[in-house]
Structure 1
């Protein structure tokens, strides 16, 4: 019974603010705007403060998908990238990347428990009124899935063991490693970097390679058991994707990864492309 979502353009990998403003104006009664803090392919972060301003002006609620980028909040160095996150009516975070948790580790954050009231349900076989009045636990009110595994336990144990500063150190080191990988790509003849990493995702490709070449390189490295690289479409081309998540990755590891790629032969001295 919900209306079809209106999908706005994101020409630079983030929401086009003028197009969003126009769409909200045309809708007259917008319900919800969904922004992203850390896209899957490139890690881009939408302009959250400006989007929050538009939502306030058009009386629309704001949801932010911060599944990837949310843990930047741990870091004093990177947390400013998430300015505006606090203005959302709901935020999703998944700690299986920058929280180093086994899946599932998804969280839904809201400003107050009152926001969860629409999720309230009653079932006599789970929470009979007389049992509730007697002080017995209300199982249905504790989880959307009722019998869900206690996934929060592993997250709580990690927070207790490492604390915010410990997780911040891991986040900072991981982001620094991604920047170093981007530096290596830029310095390696025969490799092309898509853009500087926003978080820890680096897109690159051998110069002159076709999309079929990129797909073949991935499959070859995978079947040989030498490297697992992702793939992403950006700017009309297919790119190799390295999502750096191991804070213990060394510069030597990154150099080894790039050495596995088939690179175009250098042109003879004095020759030029035509």
Structure 2
């Protein structure tokens, strides 16, 4: 029986090489021939579900490559094309070509980066890439870091280390070994009301409960309000509770606002708190030519989150977690004889599992390395600055067309809403903007997000794409106005009656 297994693996044979080339070439053709004229086809959920049922049939015998790629083409065709400049809903970047190319190498090598013997070169490449970023941050030589799956994992790790340190400091308990003491119910985390939801999620997963997170008010620039933080800290101490960490944000999801890191660092020194900075979004400003100063005090943080799959234009997933003092990783280190025995540590062998909550880890550092080597930091910084400037010009453009713009963009996110010409009922305004978001998504021409602030529905442009233009944005603004007028005339009375009734 001729199984011909080697055809389907990377193997030094003619058959293997032939199949590999054919698959890669077919994949390149599939992407290149997609002819992306808009970010989404607008296909209904029902039709997409039907397509998915069809293409996911698993045959007993393998199909011809042409037939398989035709099915995969249907999947790609009805996907959201993030690389289109009009895809502006979420913190979901268009990936740079070097990152996409690196994915092929990462997949081919298929290394798990939990122990050095599984990833001998990759381990040291990750270490060196992290050292480079720690230098940009301004961290001392004793700092350390690790690549992660993204901001959720990184924020979790920051609060995990902070919690375990607090248990040692306040209760003389090794939480990693003995679990949480009863007194841990007194621990409290502070963050702004615009901080990422993973602060609460992490607190819940860490056994502290969502109630342990104290939300601090924000100022008129959507930054954490220092006066309110002090009031909260004083009140918590009066109640016999123990504030042990504060999460600052460098780039909030909706506003892109950056907390005043210097003032928060001073507050942290006064109250002896762990400072974690969620710079998943704004961490790219490290290479900005115009806005680098906004991160001048990032080095004050005990731990930092940076996502490369946001404003660094890397393929998902790709993030990193940094600590000012590498000894902090002692709070999560565990030795397994079959993976990272203690003698490895004594001999100076680096096993990345010792500073990660992941065991299996990808070689994502290769994507960042290839990107920076091919583009250079100068061009990368210009990309960041261009998108921020475009966001500010777009905010001005919206105001000129009588849109309600909620804030002055700090990074490249713009929150706005269309105000109807004849009806000022708040329910109607919310319904109108919800309808606009749905209309343009279904048309596939413009993908924008929706959110709520103070009970009001806002639309959001997350303008990450350096190939976007003011001309493109002028067209979108005009189209939104025209469709808004149409919705107002056709559905205004019906929506208004509904809002009054309910």
The TM-score bracket by the shorter chain reads 0.7 to 0.9
Question: Judging changes above 3 Å, is the alpha-carbon distance between structure 1 residues 136 and 93 closer, same or farther for their aligned structure 2 residues?
Answer: closer
1:206 pairs, out of 398, 413, 418, with: 418
In 1, the alpha carbon distance for the partners of 2:257 and 2:339 equals 43
Per-residue CA deviations over 1:60-108 (Å, capped at 9, x if unaligned) read 1111111111111211310112232111111101122210111112111
Question: Judging changes above 3 Å, is the alpha-carbon distance between structure 1 residues 2 and 179 closer, same or farther for their aligned structure 2 residues?
Answer: same
Q: Which moved more, 1:117-126 or 1:61-70?
A: 117-126
Q: Which moved more, 1:251-260 or 1:25-34?
A: 25-34
**Contact 2:329–2:354 under 8 Å retained in 1:** no
**Contact 1:72–1:79 under 8 Å retained in 2:** yes
Question: Judging changes above 3 Å, is the alpha-carbon distance between structure 1 residues 33 and 133 closer, same or farther for their aligned structure 2 residues?
Answer: closer
**Contact 2:248–2:275 under 8 Å retained in 1:** yes
Per-residue CA deviations over 1:98-143 (Å, capped at 9, x if unaligned) read 1011111211122232232212111222123466668876363364
Q: Match for residue 26 of structure 1?
A: 235
Where does the alignment leave 5 or more consecutive residues of structure 2 unmatched?
1-206, 421-427, 487-502
The alpha carbon displacement at 1:237 in A equals 1.2
Q: Say yes or no: does 1:9 pair with 2:217.
A: yes
Query: Which has the larger helix fraction?
Result: 2
Structure number, greater radius of gyration: 2
Where does the alignment leave 5 or more consecutive residues of structure 1 unmatched?
266-274
Q: Say yes or no: does 1:122 pair with 2:308.
A: no
Q: Which moved more, 1:224-233 or 1:132-141?
A: 132-141
Q: Match for residue 53 of structure 2?
A: none
Question: Judging changes above 3 Å, is the alpha-carbon distance between structure 1 residues 130 and 37 closer, same or farther for their aligned structure 2 residues?
Answer: closer
Q: Match for residue 259 of structure 1?
A: 478
Q: Say yes or no: does 1:152 pair with 2:361.
A: no
Q: Match for residue 266 of structure 2?
A: 53
Per-residue CA deviations over 1:230-256 (Å, capped at 9, x if unaligned) read 112224311110010111112221112
In 2, the alpha carbon distance for the partners of 1:88 and 1:135 equals 27
Question: Judging changes above 3 Å, is the alpha-carbon distance between structure 1 residues 135 and 88 closer, same or farther for their aligned structure 2 residues?
Answer: closer
Higher relative contact order (CA 8 A, sep 6+): 2
**Contact 1:194–1:204 under 8 Å retained in 2:** yes
Q: Match for residue 250 of structure 1?
A: 469
Question: Judging changes above 3 Å, is the alpha-carbon distance between structure 1 residues 139 and 126 closer, same or farther for their aligned structure 2 residues?
Answer: farther
Q: TM-score, normalised by structure 1?
A: 0.88
**Contact 2:415–2:461 under 8 Å retained in 1:** yes
After TM superposition, list the pairs within 5 Å mapping 1:73-222 onto structure 2.
73-129=286-342, 138=351, 140-141=353-354, 143-188=356-401, 190-208=402-420, 210-222=429-441
Question: Judging changes above 3 Å, is the alpha-carbon distance between structure 1 residues 227 and 23 closer, same or farther for their aligned structure 2 residues?
Answer: same
Question: Judging changes above 3 Å, is the alpha-carbon distance between structure 1 residues 105 and 264 closer, same or farther for their aligned structure 2 residues?
Answer: same
Q: Count how many residue pairs are aligned between Structure 1 and Structure 2.
A: 264
Q: Match for residue 149 of structure 2?
A: none
Q: Match for residue 224 of structure 1?
A: 443
Q: TM-score, normalised by structure 2?
A: 0.50
Per-residue CA deviations over 1:12-34 (Å, capped at 9, x if unaligned) read 42212112112222334421100
Q: Provide the alpha-carbon RMSD of the alignment.
A: 2.2
